[in-house]
Structure 1
């Protein structure tokens, strides 16, 4: 069995070829393997796991063994990793899921690859966790691990107050009893932090900040969210008028509070903004709106920040948290290119992040509009201008992956985040349980099947001159999102306009060389007439925002964010950033729900003295 990195592209692997026959008893196969693993782990000083893992196996660990997110590839790396951490982590008491969707089963995954898989539960020295194991059969008939996943879900002594553990809620049961005041009296003091400093300052109250705040407070950590906007949810309300989410509702629930059963499949931006506002109230989050961070300094000797904030009334305050979580948006700082001659351009020129609605510009009917860029925003803006009567051309430099919201997106989520699917918490574990390189490799088959189902749309785009790009390995949207943060379009209507010629395409591999008074000058020597040019050119690394707001001293200690590191984990996001007490947090709604748990656990472990300091992420 061979699983190797190939060519010059990092993290592109070949999936193994396995037997296609199912074992008589999948549960017995999983149980026997877990017992053998626990026996091996019980003797960390003489750890021997060679017979349990294929030579090229994978282990993805989220905080169960190491206070970071790690991906190990090969039996040798896994053995070394376990040898370094098991004596302290003490993984034990493995238990198979006895019921539900992810109890032991045999699966034909893709052509030529089958495995026996199961969700399982375990204990560590610090808490309890959930994992997934996938065993494949070797040439000798033995079942060994191809992919192992362990994730810490709860810390001992800091269990979340859920279900039967929920607080009583009476005044007498609150700390200090009636002397401490009623619920509303306590809330007013808590929100203003009149009695104590917040342990964690969360900068940004969008989906990242709200999920993060809810997780932190549920672990008993004092948390304050600050945001520059007037109202919670304005980070969505103030985006372009026609925006809706591109992910289905079952995928986009927030921590602890799923959307109602009658919620629309795709959420309009203003409706989502209102949900955010309600969520903050229901979760009792402490939020200061119309508040900006003006400067910050970190004291290494005291492990404490001094953060200057200015509130809406002009008052200033120095906050002294131990942690700052930067939730300003993975797509927060616009990447705005400049071109020769653009000052002489007599039309309208702006970045896509500034777009509100085509109707707000002086009578665009019949005007020539050029949208530079063919990602989600570019398509939505082009469609918006077309629907207001403009003559629209999309300028494309390189290929874009296209998937439709009504077919391909639902194919991707089938069996996990879908109506009638497994509980969201279980679906989250399974969806994140494979290392990213393996996810990408499996996505090649999924992308191919989606392309077959959407053949009519893709062929129509090709005929219209739209350049498609399925990625260097054909993995489609998965690789594009995690390595580029873009390069794709989830079609909610614009593709048909391109196919029908209602929105024109211009392909320019070498891009724009300059502007004239009423045109863009392209590298191929042609001019593209334009009255309005919208630069849908994407966003900078989150580190750019840190540098802009907090200065070079802080930013220089931080790592760049996004794309995969040498192990195959996302750089610096949801994990140590390189700067002690500073954390990046962002992503789509689903990722913010999923990874807010792991970041909150890292902070709680530090505050509980389990993990003594944040460490620089390996790059």
Structure 2
């Protein structure tokens, strides 16, 4: 088989097929950019496919205006390029977007935008991946490559649960990914469904805009202070993990949270029996890092309510029988992976769209498939996997180039 063509080579067969001399990376978020940067430094060509019109579309298009990074910047920077020194400890979303755009410019990463991957399948006959995309103009392209990097991440699609009567509700309903600001909700009664970081912060933002939020808490949740003894809670936990087993660190975090935040259970926020770090590792449930919502809950400005039984016109009935009149509903119900919808493979990824092998072994599969951004450990976990993936592909690519040169020299 002749060596693959350069990725910039024009489309073959009437614009329907491109042979890629290197990997295809699906997703131009932080994970995909980090892999691209690593490959660029090794001289490995690649193609990044992105369904949106920009890099980091989750950050640019599906986050609220007041968002800041939950962790200190040193735990959120991508490989080979630190944050600017003048950035605050917790950069805003706009600062983070600026950082990612400067990252793409520095490493000359130019994704192919408006290309939505419809399917990716390994062709056993030729030993190559066939990645089919659909563009905005409904044209299709098939990319053929030796390696496939899945970098669409844990939060590719919003999760919208079904609720009885929601179609009959006369007010505004939107997912948290479409929420930008509480400005339009001033004086309105808003039901926020979900009590994770998004639910807490959306409720807090609504308070800042003089709305009247009620937050649905159906299950237990860990609420931790963002800082403990003047240090980031995450940084504090990381340092303890170097010396202590996870269950001891969990008990320490819960004890510190109770000391700093008090007994949150009396406000309707029941703590899980499993510790925050262990719960994150086993079920992917991130603890809430409080930035002010708890104060509003204590004061009654954010009301905690139980699960939903059904909606009706302008009202919601809760599982405890209470009926509340509400103007709007914001679904802070999370996100999920979309990998099962397009990846035609069932050995490496599970049905829920995550690698079957847990961190730190879920970055590499068989037949040249890799995954970045599925560690449930945020940007720091994605960065670790991106470095591994770029190094592994670079070694294989360099070896194949040497073999191709030797083959050519015999003719």
Mark yes or no: TM-score above 0.5: yes
RMSD: 3.2
Q: Show the 5 A alignment for 1:395-434.
A: 395-407=216-228, 410-414=232-236
2:157 is paired with a residue whose SS is coil
Aligned-pair CA distance for 1:315: 5.3
Per the normalisation by structure 2, the TM-score is 0.82
Distance 1:482 1:319 in 2: 35
Residues 561-580 of structure 1 correspond to what in structure 2 (within 5 A)?
A: 569-570=358-359, 573-576=362-365, 580=367
Q: Return the offset for 1:312.
A: 5.6
CA distance change for structure 1 residues 563 and 448 in 2, over 3 Å: closer, same or farther?
A: farther
Question: Which TM-score applies when normalising by structure 1?
Answer: 0.56
Equivalences for 1:9-28 in 2 at 5 Å? none
CA shift, 1:211, in A, is 0.9
Q: Which residue of 1 aligns with 2:407?
A: none
Residue by residue, what CA displacement relative to the aligned partner does 1:464-500 show, whole Å, maximum 9, x if unpaired?
333233x42xx32x22322222252111221211122
- Choose which of 345, 348, 357 in structure 2 pairs with 1:554: 345
Task: Answer yes or no: is the 8 Å Cα contact 1:211–1:254 preserved in 2.
Answer: yes
Distance 1:450 1:219 in 2: 45
Are positions 1:325 and 2:121 aligned together?
no
| Unaligned stretches of 5+ residues in structure 1 | 1-188, 418-429, 611-619
Q: Evaluate the alpha carbon distance shift between residue 356 and residue 448 of structure 1 in structure 2; reply closer, same or farther with a 3 A threshold.
A: closer
2: distance between equivalents of 1:202 and 1:564? Answer: 16
Residue 169 of structure 1 aligns with which residue?
A: none
Task: After TM superposition, list the pairs within 5 Å mapping 1:208-357 onto structure 2.
Answer: 208-238=31-61, 239-311=63-135, 316-357=140-181
CA contact (8 A) 1:482 1:562 kept: no
CA separation of 1:236/1:447 partners in 2, compared to 1, >3 Å: closer, same or farther?
same
Q: Report matched runs for 1:398-547 at 5 Å.
A: 398-407=219-228, 410-414=232-236, 440-451=246-257, 455-459=259-263, 461-469=264-272, 471-472=273-274, 475-476=275-276, 478-506=277-305, 508=306, 511-540=307-336, 542=337, 545-547=338-340
The answer to whether residue 22 in structure 2 is matched with residue 199 in structure 1 is yes
The SS at the match of 1:246 is: coil
Q: Which of 366, 376, 389 pairs up with 2:187? A: 366
Whole-angstrom CA distance in 2 between matches of 1:496 and 1:451: 14
Take 2:107 and 2:101, find their aligned partners in 1: how far apart are those partners?
10
Name structure 2 gaps, 5 residues minimum. Answer: 11-17, 401-411
CA distance in 2, matches of 1:307, 1:389: 49
Q: How many residues align?
A: 384
Distance between the aligned counterparts of 1:398 and 1:596, measured in 2? 34
8 Å contact kept, 1:514–1:521: yes
Tell me the CA shift for residue 237 of structure 1.
2.0
Q: Against the structure 1 CA distance between its residues 222 and 292, is the aligned structure 2 distance closer, same or farther, given a 3 Å change threshold? A: same
